[in-house]
Chains A and B, each alone.
Chain A
Amino acid sequence: MAEIAISIQKVNKHFGDTHAVCDLDLDVPRGSLCGFLGPNGAGKSTTIRMIMSIIYPDTGSIQVLDSSALKNKDRIGYLPEERGLYRKMRVGEFLEYVAKLKGMQISELPAHVREWLNRIDLPDVYRKRCQELSKGMQQKVQFLAAVIHEPELIILDEPFSGLDPVNAQLMTELIRKMNDNGATIIFSTHILHQAEQLCDRIFLINKGIKLLDATLEQIREQFDPRTLLAEPLDGDINLHGIEGVRDVRQMHDSPAMEIELSEGADPQEVMGKILAAGPMRSVELRRLTLDEVFIRQVAAGVGEQAAEVAREELSHV
């Protein structure tokens, strides 16, 4: 069994009448890169703040690196959702200050900070004041403040929000690299397809309730859509009569058709039959997106109405 970096057991948190987190159980294996997903207001930031011991659960227990975040602050890097900088402080001075608070030795700091600034493509900002930086640059400096001490556990709350695609890509690569070097990384996002590209493990949460906790492989197995996508060259082709096909739907935004397979039908066999039925531009096995998994889980757990709300929320992302 893999070592556990974070263990959350039966955690509940209320804010007034709002039940922000309900009976949450969660284990984050060491060395994993986990996405903590859910729409806005799902309870992600509250859970992360409890993990960081910034706020405390009403009931339940949280173990971080075999103890608590309070005792392991120097081993944890944290990028909060609400983050800022000292506007008048110089970038180098700010990063050195944060690194010192994280227990780094003073002698090695300036060189270390300059090296990291180079890594995030900000080699010339060491002596600039934080208020002189663009918003994107400030976000990169904030990210750097979370990881400057190269911790073994990194918790990033919405790390990509507000970043342009180039900087988001740079950040993604840095996260991957730190994970490759052995760091356990959790990041929260409400943009599910981002997590799909980066994570090896997913936690889905909605209205404080855990909907899913699995690796991407497990999710793909669990949520086999049993659906094919076929785009015929001739639009008049009829696929309804093919054995193993339960239903055929024309997609709204493309000339492709969505073909739902019958119970027990072999996708490979059905694909062969479709190709034999007429000229095709493409036939592929469809994969369910995390958005769809999320909506299905909401529907299964809370009901269709809630799923419709979740669909609406995701469409606004």
Chain B
Amino acid sequence: MSKTITVAWREFKQTVLRPVFIIAVLGIPLLIVGVMIIAIVLTVQNKQPPLVGTIAIVDPSGEVSAAAGIEFGRDQLDRDQTEQIEEAQRRAQERFEGGPEAVPSIVDAEEPAIRIVRGVVRIDIESVSEADQATISSLTERVRNGTLIATAVIPPEVIELPDPAQRERPKFTLHVAEGVDSDHISLIERRIGQAVVRVRAARADLDPEQAMAMLRRPEAQTSRALKSGEDAREGEGTRVIKQLLPAVFMILLWVSTFTTGQHLLMSTIEEKSNRVMEVLLSAVSPLQLMAGKIIGHCGVGLLIALLYSSAFVVAMIVGASLDESLRRVLVPMDLVYLAIFFFMAYFMVASLMAAVGSAVSDIREANTLVTPVMLVMMIPWMLWMPISQAPNGSLATLFSFIPPASPFALIIRRAAEEPIPAWQMPLAIAWGYLCVVAMVWMAAKIFRVGVLMYGKPPTPIELLKWIRYS
């Protein structure tokens, strides 16, 4: 046993202390987090180039143009800080002697009426009363040559009170300049659409502000009625995290087992290609060597899983201090299951990698045997969405019993909200560990023969023959 531990410790030390490993395990997540922080900072700073220019609204009534001025203005007022609101009001006052209250009513084609100042949008609205083809063509031409950023043509029927029986929505046309990005196009579409609704409300003798307020959907404050008798509030954020949880667990399991499986493969191939294998076999048996390698790399995988899951748990604890409902998202039992599935997945992957590593003489030869293993390792990624959506579906149940996909399928199911039938989990775990024993046994058989074989890599049939050797 002490020899196995000696081999295991060397494998662990040689892997963990390598700069490549430290960079890969610590550096890459830090890099990802760093990039996310930079992206958030840039978004917050709103570095998107502002939309500045004039939109022509072809609207014989002139009402939509006026309402659009308010809508673009409200967009500003809704979203900005008090200071910016005051700034907008000050600018509006500067421009219109009537003050901010006068803004909606002063719309004139001759004098671009409304200037809304903010980080993203600064729009002048040009109201056009002639809706003939020549005017529209001329406005479209102005959009083309860049003097207008958009032209909206509002047919009269669009602002008429809609017939509730009419399912099809009336349409207006919008010509947008080439350089306007899709976010800005959406904004323009939304604001002009809201302006039309505002005009309709006014025509129906409703207070437009009140009508708009009526259209705002109330926010649900959902809570779960727990069996314990308590009620636990559940926000949108909590729900999103719950949906992501199966993926988080699956990725954690996959990264920790697959990374270490790769290290195990490379270290076995290195010992064969450097011809150090026979030196080792003079001191330890092939089984001791394989066991030592598997245990050593299991330590590496555990370290990776611990690092990442600790970071995740810390994030959840911090999150729970801000939102109480997050406390119920991650329970200690999840971590127990994570450990159970980690060992199951690791020993399955490790036995495959040890067998392949022992059977080939160098990394180039390994490709032919590693490719099928890699394909098998990709199965969890294909399973994630379908199993998350139907955790008790036939696909999920089937893959819960097929190694090496079973631990990944099971952890996705465990983390999903729908509970697994009580009989399935213990049965699947027991079956999984039986498969682990069988896979390690077969790997040991292949390893014992493979480590001393040089030359042409074996075919799968030859590998089966090796398993049958005594």
A interface residues (Cβ-Cβ under 8 A, vs B)? 49, 52, 54-55, 70, 73-74, 76-78, 80, 82-89, 97-98, 100-103, 142, 145-146
Contacts and interface: CB of A to CB of B under 8 A. Distances in A.
Given A70-B285, A97-B10, A86 B278 contact: no
Given A87-B274, A97-B6, A102 B283 contact: yes
A82 B278 CA distance: 7
A100 B6 contact: yes
B276 A78 contact: no
B284 interface: yes
Nearest to A86: B276
B274 A84 contact: yes
8 contacts: A54-B282, A73-B282, A80-B275, A80-B279, A80-B282, A82-B278, A86-B270, A86-B271
B276 A84 contact: yes
B7 interface: yes
A93 to B, nearest CB: 9
- The interface residues of chain B, by DSSP majority, are classed as helix
Given A73-B283, A97-B6, A102-B283, A80 B278 contact: yes
B6 to A, nearest CB: 5
Given A55-B452, A97-B10, A100-B6, A82 B282 contact: no
Contacts of B14: 86, 88-89
B284 A85 contact: no
A101 B278 contact: no
A107 to B, nearest CB: 15
A87 B276 CA distance: 10
B195 to A, nearest CB: 70
A78 B281 CA distance: 10
A87 B269 CA distance: 13
A73 B284 contact: yes
Given A54-B278, A83-B279, A84-B279, A101 B284 contact: yes
Contact of B281 (A54, A74, A86, A87): A54
A91 to B, nearest CB: 13
A15 to B, nearest CB: 11
Nearest to A97: B10
Contact of A142 (B3, B271, B279): B279
* Pairs A-B, 7 closest by C-beta atoms: A84-B275, A78-B282, A101-B283, A80-B278, A84-B274, A84-B276, A82-B275
Given A55-B452, A97-B6, A100-B6, A76 B276 contact: no
A49 B453 CA distance: 13
Contacts of B283: 73-74, 98, 101-102
A178 to B, nearest CB: 17
